[in-house]
């Protein structure tokens, strides 16, 4: 086709060249429009996108979490000062209380400085952005007068097409990649997407009705052969803080009926002592119990077969001994500094550190031969506004207390994408007001909760 056109054209040229005449054609193009200022438009676009990167939801969140931190800490300070005053014997204030108050004050001062910095930064950003937006508006209005050739509209259309194309490409990319990954990895959920929680499926007082307010129970996701239906129970038998054994049941019905055939597996006869279980948020995995070691910023792994304990220190600054607890407005749950969790990919731990100002930090616990800390993620959710956490398919979920009947799964953090969601709105119907431990069982997709001496479970619903 092209060749057909070119040949006659060449012939034509040769013809005209051969022609003796000096006739020439002129085409005069007069543009009454001014040229479209493309450079101006691209400058405006650059400024706009810079505005976007300057002001992110992250910045607003930071302010919110700092405010929440202050809101929670001030009443506590007031309480501690009141205690201090009560202990005032006219001459000496209680030394311990004074120290507590001093620590509280230091924490609060630190928060205020950060708040001051953040607020100043926000003011500066707001000022800069307002000015920029005004300039941009003027520029865009000017550009609009030029836009008789629909340059801007055309660009927008192009952009939309490009986005569609990218989306299409991503879909293809995703489907080709997930289909040939043989193993369940983080964020890759074999059950579909987490959608909702069923009503309570099991609610039982178990073997010791009403005896222990704090505890945890569940199933080992990777049990030894022959122990597939076993359930475990840990009760904080010493002062609601400590425990020195795991109690085993051969099935769920044995646990409900209170018949413990294998009985207790003891860590140590003394309670508490080195490597005692501290706090309720423990889990079983591959025949070992993972928990916060007594009086340490460490994860302990108690091997039920060899009866040995391995320790793993958490990063410097990790809060422990009831300094970084789960809370709601009326109450903090003592000794909930560390929360161990299991999901499809293994064992995880959440905690808080001094340097992260009480925000939740999540780490993978690698349980190959040597117990060690794997990858770590930093969230922007403030731990004292959270009542518990659990993991499903590499996604961290956090709950908050709504009222005595309802707990809300309000927050998620996807370790694959780093995306946070503060607005999940999935509600757990409670049988008892306080959820003191909560963990997901990847074997049967149940959530196991220990609530005010009762064991309750829920089914996780996927779509
Ligand atoms: C506050 O900002 C100042 C200077 O911008 C900086 O030196 C200081 O470390 C900041 N303080 C905190 C707590 O972020
Ligand atoms: C807040 O920061 C500004 C500037 O850095 C400083 O002048 C001011 O004293 C700070 N205020 C407080 C309460 O820390
Ligand atoms: C799958 O993902 C890997 C990186 O994880 C990437 O290198 C590869 O190109 C992807 N495969 C396809 C077919 O897109
Ligand atoms: C979740 O399940 C509860 C019942 O357990 C139901 O009332 C609620 O509507 C469900 N929510 C969604 C979003 O499906
Ligand atoms: C527990 O100890 C047994 C026996 O020494 C060993 O075979 C097993 O691998 C250990 N389990 C873990 C999780 O370390």
Please, which contacts does 425-429 make with residues 24 or more away whose CB atoms are closer than 8 Å?
426/194, 426/195, 426/196, 426/197, 427/197, 427/402, 428/197, 428/399, 428/458, 429/199, 429/200, 429/405
Cis previous bond, 272, omega within 30: yes
Q: Is 97 helix (H, G, I), strand (E, B) or coil?
A: helix
CA–CA distance from 390 to each of 308, 395, 410 (Å)? 26, 8, 12
Cα 272 to ligand 3 centroid, rounded to whole Å: 51
CATH of 184-462, one of 3.30.420, 3.90.1690, 2.120.10, 3.30.43: 2.120.10
Closest ligand 4 atom to residue 425 Cα is 13
Cα 72 to ligand 2 centroid, rounded to whole Å: 22
At a CB cut-off of 8 Å and minimum separation 6, what does 61 contact? 380, 422
Instruction: Give the pLDDT confidence of 61-77 residue by residue, as tens digits.
Output: 677 777 777 777 787 77
Residue nearest to atom 6 of ligand 1 (CA): 117
**Protein residues whose CB sits closer than 6 Å to any atom of ligand 2:** 113, 116, 120
Q: Is the minimum distance from the CB of 177 to ligand 3 under 6 angstroms? A: yes
Instruction: Give the pLDDT confidence of 434-460 residue by residue, as tens digits.
Output: 999 999 999 999 999 999 999 999 999
Closest-approaching ligand to the CA atom of 302: 5
Q: What is the pLDDT of residue 137?
A: 82
Mutate to test the pocket of ligand 4, among 195, 196, 429, 457 (most ligand atoms within 8 A of CB): 196
Token pair of 79, please?
């309480």
Look at residue 41 and tell me whether its pLDDT is greater than 80: no
Cβ atoms of residues 41 and 152 within 8 Å: yes
Mutate to test the pocket of ligand 3, among 166, 169, 173 (most ligand atoms within 8 A of CB): 173
pLDDT band at 381 (very low <50, low <70, confident <90, very high): very high
List the beta bridge partners of residue 234: 216
Q: Is the minimum distance from the CB of 462 to ligand 4 under 6 angstroms? A: no
Q: How far does the chain reach from its first CA to its final CA, in angstroms? A: 55
Q: Is the minimum distance from the CB of 406 to ligand 4 under 6 angstroms? A: no
Task: Compute the residue count for the chain.
Answer: 463
- Closest Cα to residue 441, out of 280, 222, 249? 222
Rounded average pLDDT over 232-243: 96
87-96, 175-184, 415-424: segment of lowest average pLDDT: 175-184
Closest-approaching ligand to the CA atom of 301: 5
Q: Is the minimum distance from the CB of 204 to ligand 4 under 6 angstroms? A: no
Q: Is the minimum distance from the CB of 52 to ligand 3 under 6 angstroms? A: no
Q: Is the minimum distance from the CB of 16 to ligand 1 under 6 angstroms? A: no
**Model pTM score:** 0.60
Look at residue 170 and tell me whether its pLDDT is greater than 60: no
Instruction: Give the pLDDT confidence of 391-415 residue by residue, as tens digits.
Output: 999 999 999 999 999 999 999 999 9
């Amino acid at each position: 086709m092209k060749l057909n056109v070119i040949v006659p054209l060449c012939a034509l040229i040769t013809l005209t060249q051969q022609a003796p005449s000096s006739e020439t054609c002129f085409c005069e193009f007069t543009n009454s429009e001014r040229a479209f200022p493309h450079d101006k438009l691209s400058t405006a676009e650059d400024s706009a996108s810079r505005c976007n990167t300057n002001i992110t939801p992250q910045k607003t969140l930071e302010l919110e979490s700092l405010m929440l931190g202050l809101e929670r800490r001030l009443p506590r300070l007031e309480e501690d000062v009141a205690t201090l005053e009560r202990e005032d014997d006219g001459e000496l204030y209680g030394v311990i209380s004074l120290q507590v108050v001093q620590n509280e004050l230091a924490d609060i001062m630190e928060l205020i400085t950060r708040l001051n910095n953040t607020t100043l930064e926000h003011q500066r950003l707001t000022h800069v952005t307002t000015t920029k937006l005004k300039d941009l508006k003027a520029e865009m209005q000017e550009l609009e007068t030029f836009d008789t050739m629909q340059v801007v509209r055309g660009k927008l259309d192009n952009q939309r097409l490009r986005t569609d194309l990218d989306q299409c490409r991503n879909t293809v990319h995703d489907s080709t990649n997930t289909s040939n990954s043989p193993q369940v990895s983080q964020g890759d959920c074999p059950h579909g997407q987490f959608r909702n929680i069923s009503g309570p499926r099991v609610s039982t007082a178990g073997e010791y009705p009403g005896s222990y307010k704090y505890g945890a129970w569940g199933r080992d996701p990777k049990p030894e052969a022959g122990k597939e239906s076993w359930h475990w129970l840990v009760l904080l038998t010493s002062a609601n803080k400590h425990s020195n054994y795991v109690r085993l049941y051969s099935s769920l019905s044995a646990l409900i009926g209170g018949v413990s055939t294998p009985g207790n597996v003891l860590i140590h006869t003394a309670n508490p002592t080195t490597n005692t279980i501290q706090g309720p948020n423990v889990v079983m995995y591959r025949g070992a119990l993972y928990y916060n070691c007594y009086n340490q910023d460490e994860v302990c792994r108690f091997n039920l077969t060899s009866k040995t304990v391995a320790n793993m220190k958490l990063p410097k600054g990790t809060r422990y001994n009831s300094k970084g607890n789960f809370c709601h407005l009326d109450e903090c749950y003592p000794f909930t500094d560390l929360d161990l969790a299991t999901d499809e990919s293994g064992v995880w731990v959440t905690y808080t550190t001094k340097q992260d100002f009480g925000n939740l930090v999540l780490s993978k616990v690698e349980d190959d031969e040597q117990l060690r800390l794997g990858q770590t993620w930093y969230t922007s959710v403030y731990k004292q506004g959270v009542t518990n956490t659990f993991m499903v398919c590499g996604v961290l979920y956090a709950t908050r207390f709504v009222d005595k009947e309802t707990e809300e799964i309000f927050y998620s953090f996807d370790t694959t994408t780093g995306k946070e969601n503060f607005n999940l709105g999935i509600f757990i119907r409670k049988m008892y007001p306080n959820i003191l431990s909560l963990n997901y069982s990847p074997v049967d997709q149940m959530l196991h909760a220990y609530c005010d001496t009762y064991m309750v479970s829920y089914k996780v619903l996927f779509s």
